[in-house]
């Protein structure tokens, strides 16, 4: 069964362990600036919101790519970028309406969350269960909706 | 049901695949008049700088992709359409019948009315064939003139410089990419290019191209003159729709007029991509956007309606462009020029070539220009397409436009400002 990242911003304390784990796993350095998951801070409201790709079914990035460099990993459901195919045109970065595909000027390729191949390190690193890796029996779109609705409720609760 | 698609670019290929998915028993044929397997023009700049081989431009990498999907790809040219007989005449002399026809024939560069434009040293940069001509024509240090600093001109500019060209760019408008970037942004881009050694001439026109001994002399307004081994013309495009003459299909500025169901004025004939005058998400008006994401968007919507007319009402495509000009990345979205009575938020750091401009209609984001930004740009699309009312977050963005990601999260996760 496919699993997906489940984010519960109410539980986030802004410790940035997820960003550290992500950048270390993917870039080999502890550098939040290189993380694919990002914790946004709302100072005035005292809120933290971890945010990354939801591997949506719509996969705007995948459809926009002119050279088929983004494909779905059938085992994990993640949309993965193939560095050897990507030409670095950045069309996926402007097409993703969630802003979760980013261009890396050093490599000339784009980076996005790939669920670490099925063992997302952000979820393992999160000490408060704000990020968990759970069974996803819903479709990507339903996942998005559920995610949006849930965080909505959390916000108004 | 027999579906025929004219054009093997992204619009045609995505439409064919979508039809196949929706109707496994349909007959699907793509007719394209370029000899290569279906490829993406967008990848050409990366071919010019040897980042990829020609195969790297192919839309589908699996050699048997089309035969595996039972999509016939035919190399031929459609010369006319007879809607009464539901049939096409092909350049090879054959005819082909269709139940549903998709016009996805793209566009072709125009040849500006300049004396000498037909000189063999002048080429466009549009097809793989053009790309081969350019790569064989550019030697390190070779003087090259690029006519037009529009979107396509700017996209190939970097490739030309990396290939070693000593480049002069001549643009009629008062800044670079005048139809994608506002004055501040386009002017900053020009400054950047000049600092990198590109000779950029804005508000200028090429007046003539004359033969010189072993190259050409390019005469430019203001009594200027540059020698060039190669001239690349990127002065705009027009739709490939000549073969529709006499078919009764309604045109606007040479492009096929379509409705919300991607259908032309003639039943069973649809259009998609650069050849189609499609709905713009922001304005609701019909225009040719001539960009890859729109071609794909159109292809999918058209296919759904070819299989089941009325299935998908196209909401319109959001205009969006991204450009990398020698390491400086710019992007534009939607109504980046703003609207009357709307507000504009700007943040500019000229020394570091950074710029962000947001356009609002009331408290909704309707367009943007960015320069020097690579993180979370896509969320601008999310905000434009979601038509979110930003409430007090709009005021925060007026103060600090960089908070777009926060504004988006606030709008989608109910965080009040
Ligand atoms: C160098 C370059 C860089 C670009 N970069 C970008 C970019 O970064 N971002 C972006 O969004 N867009 C970019 N574009 C534009 C983008 O490539 C086009 O918008 C896109 O290709 C349109 O797709 P299409 O399927 O409508 O048409 P096309 O890709 O043009 O395909 C149409 C096909 O139909 C064929 N055809 C035409 N007439 C006939 C006929 N009568 N019979 C049979 N076949 C016919 C054509 O030969 C062609 O193969 C770039 C274009 C170029 C040239
Ligand atoms: S940047 Fe790479 S992955 Fe993204 S659309 Fe371009 S080629 Fe595809």
What CATH number is attached to the domain comprising B66?
3.50.50.60
CB-CB: which of A89, A94, A105 is closest to B42? A89
Q: Look at residue B312 and tell me if it is in a domain.
A: no
Residues B229 and B246 reside in one and the same domain: no
How far is C-alpha A26 from the chain's CA centre? 13
- Kindly state whether residues B229 and B269 are assigned to the same domain: no
Given a contact cutoff of 8 angstroms between Cβ atoms, the answer to whether B51 and B131 are in contact is no
Residues B302 and B343 in one domain: no
Chain B residues closer than 8 Å to A104 by CB:
374
Contact B295, B40 (CB under 8 A): no
Alpha-carbon span B176 to B189, nearest angstrom: 7
ipTM score: 0.94
Cβ-proximal residues to B341 (8 Å cutoff; 6+ apart), any chain = none
Domain membership of residue B293 (yes or no) is: yes
Q: What is the mean predicted confidence (pLDDT) over A136-153? A: 49
pLDDT value of residue A45 = 87
B142 & B181 share domain: yes
- In sequence order, the 6+-apart residues with CB closer than 8 A to the CB of B354 are B347, B348, B371, B372, B373
Ligand 2 contacts CB of residue A110 (under 6 A): yes
| B225 and B130 part of one domain | yes
B73 with B135, same domain: the answer is no
Is residue B145, in this structure, part of any structural domain at all? yes
Domains recognised in chain A with CATH numbers:
3-150 (3.30.70.20)
B19 in Cβ contact with B70 (< 8 Å) = no
Q: How far is the CA of B57 from the centre of ligand 2 (A)?
A: 12
Structural domain includes residue B313:
no
Give the per-residue pLDDT at A137. 66
Contact B119, B228 (CB under 8 A): no
B378 and A87 within 8 Å at the Cβ level: the answer is no
Q: Which residues are B200's β-sheet partners?
A: B169
Contacts with B225 (C-beta within 8 Å, 6 or more apart), sequence order: B217, B218, B219
Q: Is the pLDDT of residue A141 over 60?
A: no
pLDDT of res. A44: 87
Looking at per-residue confidence, does B202 or A146 come out higher?
B202
* Ligand number with the minimum distance to the CA of A89: 2
Give me the number of domains chain B comprises: 3
Among the candidates B209, B233, B257, a domain finishes at B233
pLDDT-based confidence at residue A138 (cuts at 50, 70, 90): low
Can you tell me the distance from the alpha carbon of B23 to that of B27, in angstroms, rounded to the nearest whole number?
9
pLDDT, residue A20, reads 97
Distance from the Cα of residue B100 to its chain's centroid: 26
Domain of residue B386, residue span: 327-412
Q: Is residue A139 scored above 90 in pLDDT?
A: no
What distance in Å separates residue A135's CA from the closest CA in chain B? 22
Confidence band, pLDDT 50/70/90 cuts, at residue A142: low
Give the A window 57-116 contacts with B, CB below 8 Å: 60, 63-64, 66-68, 85, 87-91, 93-105, 108
What's the confidence (pLDDT) of residue A135?
Answer: 86
Backbone angles phi, psi at B13, to 5 degrees: -65, -45
Q: Is A146 in the pocket of ligand 2 (CB under 6 A)?
A: no
Residue nearest to atom 5 of ligand 2 (CA): A65
Instruction: Locate the ligand 1 atom nearest the alpha carbon of residue B290 and give its number.
Output: 19
Chain B positions touching A108 (Cβ under 8 A) are 51
- Classify residue B366: in a domain, yes or no: yes
CA B181: distance to chain centroid?
15
Does B243 share its domain with B177? Answer: no
Are B97 and B246 part of one and the same domain? yes
pLDDT for A156 equals 31
- Positions in chain B whose pLDDT score sits under 50: none
**Same domain flag for B78 and B216:** no
Q: Choosing among A59, A67, A108, which should be mutated to test the B contact, i.e. which has the most B CBs within 10 A?
A: A67
Q: How far apart are CA B253 and CA A62, in angstroms?
A: 32
Asked, for residue B316, whether it belongs to a domain, the answer is no
- Is B291 a domain residue? yes
Same domain, B131 and B87: no
- Spatial distance between the Cα atoms of B274 and B321, rounded to a whole number of angstroms: 14
Is the backbone of residue B414 left (phi > 0), alpha (psi -120 to 50) or beta? left
Residue B116 lies in a domain: no
pLDDT tens per residue, range A30-56: 999 999 999 999 988 889 999 999 998
In 3D, which of A21, A13, A20 has the Cα closest to residue A41? A13
Count of CB contacts below 8 A, A vs B?
129
Residues B131 and B227 in one domain: yes
- In angstroms, the Cα distances linking A117 to A76, A121, A138, B10, B249 are 7, 10, 20, 30, 50
End-of-domain residue from the set B307, B335, B366: B307
Q: Are residues B130 and B88 in the same domain?
A: no
- Dig out the tokens for B134 from the structure: 């350019």
CATH for B341 = 3.30.390.30
Distance CA B37, CA B28 (A): 16
Residue after which a domain boundary falls, among B171, B206, B233: B233
Confirm if B317 and B294 have CB atoms less than 8 A apart: yes
Give the residues across from B355 on adjacent strands: B348, B371
With residue A33 as reference, give the H or E element that holds it.
none
Contacts of B158 in chain A (CB under 8 A): none
Range A7-27 average pLDDT: 95
């Amino acid at each position: 069964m496919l699993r997906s990242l489940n984010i519960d911003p109410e539980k986030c304390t802004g410790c940035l362990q997820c960003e550290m784990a992500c950048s270390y796993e993917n870039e080999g350095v502890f550098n939040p600036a290189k993380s694919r998951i990002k914790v946004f801070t709302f100072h005035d409201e005292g809120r933290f919101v971890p945010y990354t790709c939801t591997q949506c079914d719509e996969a705007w990035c995948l459809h926009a790519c002119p050279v088929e460099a983004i494909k779905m990993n059938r085992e994990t459901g993640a949309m993965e970028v193939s560095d050897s195919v990507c030409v670095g045109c950045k069309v996926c970065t402007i097409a993703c309406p969630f802003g979760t595909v980013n261009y890396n000027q050093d490599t000339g390729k784009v980076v996005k969350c790939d669920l670490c191949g099925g063992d997302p390190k952000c979820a393992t690193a999160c000490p408060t269960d704000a990020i968990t890796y759970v069974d996803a029996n819903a479709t990507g779109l339903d996942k998005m909706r559920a995610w949006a609705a849930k965080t909505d409720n959390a916000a108004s609760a | 049901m027999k579906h025929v698609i004219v054009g093997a670019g992204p619009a045609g290929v995505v439409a064919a695949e979508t039809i196949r998915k929706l109707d496994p028993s349909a007959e699907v044929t793509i007719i394209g008049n370029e000899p290569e397997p279906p490829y993406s023009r967008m990848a050409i700049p990366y071919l010019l700088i040897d980042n990829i081989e020609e195969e790297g431009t192919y839309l589908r990498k699996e050699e048997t992709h089309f035969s595996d999907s039972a999509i016939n790809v035919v190399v031929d040219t459609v010369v006319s359409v007879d809607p009464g007989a539901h049939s096409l005449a092909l350049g090879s002399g054959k005819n082909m019948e269709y139940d549903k026809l998709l016009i996805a024939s793209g566009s072709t560069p125009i040849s500006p009315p300049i004396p000498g434009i037909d000189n063999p040293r002048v080429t466009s940069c549009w097809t793989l064939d053009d790309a081969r001509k350019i790569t064989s024509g550019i030697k390190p240090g070779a003087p090259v003139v690029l006519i037009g600093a529009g979107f396509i001109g700017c996209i190939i500019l970097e490739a030309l410089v990396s290939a070693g060209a000593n480049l002069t760019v001549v643009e009629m408008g008062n800044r670079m990419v005048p139809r994608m970037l506002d004055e501040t942004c386009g002017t900053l881009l020009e400054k950047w290019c000049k600092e990198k050694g590109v000779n950029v001439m804005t508000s200028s026109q090429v007046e003539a191209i004359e033969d010189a001994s072993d190259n050409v002399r390019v005469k430019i307004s203001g009594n200027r003159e540059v020698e060039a081994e190669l001239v690349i013309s990127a002065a705009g495009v027009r739709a490939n729709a000549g073969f529709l003459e006499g078919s009764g299909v309604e045109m606007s500025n040479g492009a096929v007029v379509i409705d919300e169901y991607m259908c032309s004025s003639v039943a069973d004939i649809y259009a998609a991509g650069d050849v189609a005058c499609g709905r713009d998400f922001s304005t609701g008006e019909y225009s040719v956007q001539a960009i890859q994401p729109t071609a794909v968007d159109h292809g999918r919507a058209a296919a759904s309606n070819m299989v089941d007319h009325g299935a998908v009402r196209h909401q319109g495509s959001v205009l969006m462009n991204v450009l990398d000009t020698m390491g400086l990345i710019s992007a534009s979205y939607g109504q980046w020029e703003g609207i009357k009575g709307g507000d504009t938020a700007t943040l500019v750091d000229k020394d570091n070539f950074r710029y962000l401009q947001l356009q609002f209609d009331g408290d909704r984001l309707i367009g943007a220009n960015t320069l020097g930004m690579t993180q979370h740009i896509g969320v601008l699309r999310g905000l434009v397409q979601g038509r979110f009312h930003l409430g007090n977050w709009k005021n925060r963005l007026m103060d600090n436009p960089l908070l777009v990601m926060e504004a988006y999260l606030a709008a989608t996760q109910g965080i009040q400002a």
